[in-house]
Structure 1
Amino acid sequence: MTEITLRTLTGAALTDALDDLAHLRITVFHEWPYLYEGDMDYERNYLAKFAGSKGAVIIGAYDGDRLVGAATAAPLADHFDDFAGPFSKHGLKAEDFFYFGESVLLPEYRGHGIGVRFFEEREKAAQAEGFDRIVFCGVMRPDDHPMRPADYVPLDTFWRNRGYEKMDGIVCDFPWRDIGDGEETRKPMQFWSRTLAEDG
């Protein structure tokens, strides 16, 4: 594999990368477990909300000038209300959390530690914005789903090795169109969290 460069994108650089990020999301989230039947209209609406946050950041993985992977983050309170809603129901304030969005990487670049770097660089971004409480969420699919690959390994162990744990009872739901479906349906998303040490 060629050497991959990670770049932290904010401001105009972040805006310039949004269409490339959209294409990555459409490609990678087509896979299990998201099964996303993506289109650019949906992407531009979704990513405009993300990019409107002053604290938004993309960690881009580049092979030369080509974006081959990306991980996003922004304050949770700036994201869609669907994500923040479950926190208020449990007496938590969305304003206290930094939210890690997608982490997408083309298959041929996996297995080389880039996913770990995505977490490390977003944690640095969180601390730079004054946050020590991190959350993200992952889609919940039934084990007997007909499109579940026989060799699928959930990412739970990877996330726990990064110091994250499930937040009991903190589940949101968010709509997108599954492969083969004509309409969007809402899917449950389980939240995970970590509190960063003061020394990083």
Structure 2
Amino acid sequence: MGDLRFERLYGAGLGRRLDDIARLRMTVFREWPYLYEGDEEYERRFLQIYVDSPRSFALTVLDGDAVVGVTTAMPLTDEEQEIQQPFVDAGIDVQRVFYFAESVLLPEYRGHGLYRQFFREREALAGSFGDYDRVAFCAVQRPDDHPMKPANHQPLDPVWRHFGYQPRPELVAYFPWPDIGEREETQKPLQFWLKPLG
């Protein structure tokens, strides 16, 4: 691991890194628990919402010219309806929630404090606007007896709790994607974790 540098992108500025973010998402999300059989065309369409959101944010981690990590965020109101709907159903004002999307790092860059910085910078940005009172992210739920679960898997729940986030079992979104080696998409539950701002 060489000398790392960070790049902060906002709104339409994310457009210059969409291909890098797509490739990194497809690489990291092949791992447990997402098991995502990536599709470049889908990725470009999906990531366009970041370019279209004036308040979107990406922090990229670069090792030389290579993007080895990225985290993204945007107002919940700029996200897809599937992400907003659990909040609407629970009576939570979506206008007051800032949504944290992916945080992905290549394996060799983990364990060096970058994940902590991802949360710190996104929370600082959300707080700087002055009109959000909580932040949220979601994580896919897989059964403990899933055949592809690694024997040495360490869940991130304790880390998220340490950062001040709490799981909200009543807030669940459903997204379809094909698992590795499959062609057909199946619905996956993603549970939200929330933290108050301020």
TM class, shorter-length: over 0.9
Residue 168 of structure 1, CA deviation: 3.3
Question: Could you tell me the percent identity over the aligned residues?
Answer: 51
User: Which residue of the partner structure matches residue 156 of structure 1?
Assistant: 157
User: Which residue of the partner structure matches residue 81 of structure 1?
Assistant: 81
Query: How many angstroms apart in 1 are the aligned matches of 2:9 and 2:50?
Result: 13
Query: How many angstroms apart in 1 are the aligned matches of 2:157 and 2:55?
Result: 27
User: Which residue of the partner structure matches residue 107 of structure 2?
Assistant: 107
Provide Cα deviations, 1:24-57, integer angstroms capped at 9, x if missing partner.
0000000000000001111011101232111110
Query: How many angstroms apart in 1 are the aligned matches of 2:138 and 2:32?
Result: 15
User: Which residue of the partner structure matches residue 145 of structure 2?
Assistant: 144
User: Which residue of the partner structure matches residue 123 of structure 1?
Assistant: 123
Query: How many angstroms apart in 1 are the aligned matches of 2:159 and 2:84?
Result: 24
Aligned to 1:144, the other structure's residue is in SS state coil
User: Which residue of the partner structure matches residue 96 of structure 1?
Assistant: 96
The TM-score with structure 2 as length reference comes to: 0.96
User: Which residue of the partner structure matches residue 185 of structure 2?
Assistant: 184
Conserved 8 A contact 2:12-2:53: no
Query: How many angstroms apart in 2 are the aligned matches of 1:194 and 1:11?
Result: 24
Conserved 8 A contact 1:33-1:148: yes
Query: How many angstroms apart in 2 are the aligned matches of 1:93 and 1:167?
Result: 15
Residue 63 of structure 1, CA deviation: 1.0
Aligned to 1:191, the other structure's residue is in SS state strand
Query: How many angstroms apart in 2 are the aligned matches of 1:12 and 1:50?
Result: 7
Aligned to 1:59, the other structure's residue is in SS state strand
Query: How many angstroms apart in 1 are the aligned matches of 2:28 and 2:50?
Result: 19
Query: How many angstroms apart in 2 are the aligned matches of 1:12 and 1:95?
Result: 21
Residue 12 of structure 1, CA deviation: 4.5
Query: How many angstroms apart in 1 are the aligned matches of 2:56 and 2:93?
Result: 19
Query: How many angstroms apart in 2 are the aligned matches of 1:44 and 1:7?
Result: 20
The TM-score with structure 1 as length reference comes to: 0.95
Go from structure 1 to structure 2 and tell me whether the alpha carbon gap of 1:79 and 1:143 turns closer, same or farther (over 3 Å shift).
same
Query: How many angstroms apart in 2 are the aligned matches of 1:66 and 1:121?
Result: 21
Query: How many angstroms apart in 1 are the aligned matches of 2:52 and 2:12?
Result: 12
Output the amino acid matched with 1:144. D
Q: Which moved more, 1:56-65 or 1:144-153?
A: 56-65
Structure 1 stretches of 5 or more lacking a match? none
Structure 1 runs (4+) greater than 4 angstroms displaced: none
Aligned to 1:17, the other structure's residue is in SS state helix
Aligned to 2:112, the other structure's residue is in SS state coil
Provide Cα deviations, 1:46-84, integer angstroms capped at 9, x if missing partner.
101232111110011111222110000000111010010
User: Which residue of the partner structure matches residue 133 of structure 1?
Assistant: 134
Aligned to 1:179, the other structure's residue is in SS state coil
Conserved 8 A contact 2:13-2:51: no
Q: Which moved more, 1:126-135 or 1:174-183?
A: 126-135
Conserved 8 A contact 2:11-2:50: no
Conserved 8 A contact 1:55-1:129: no
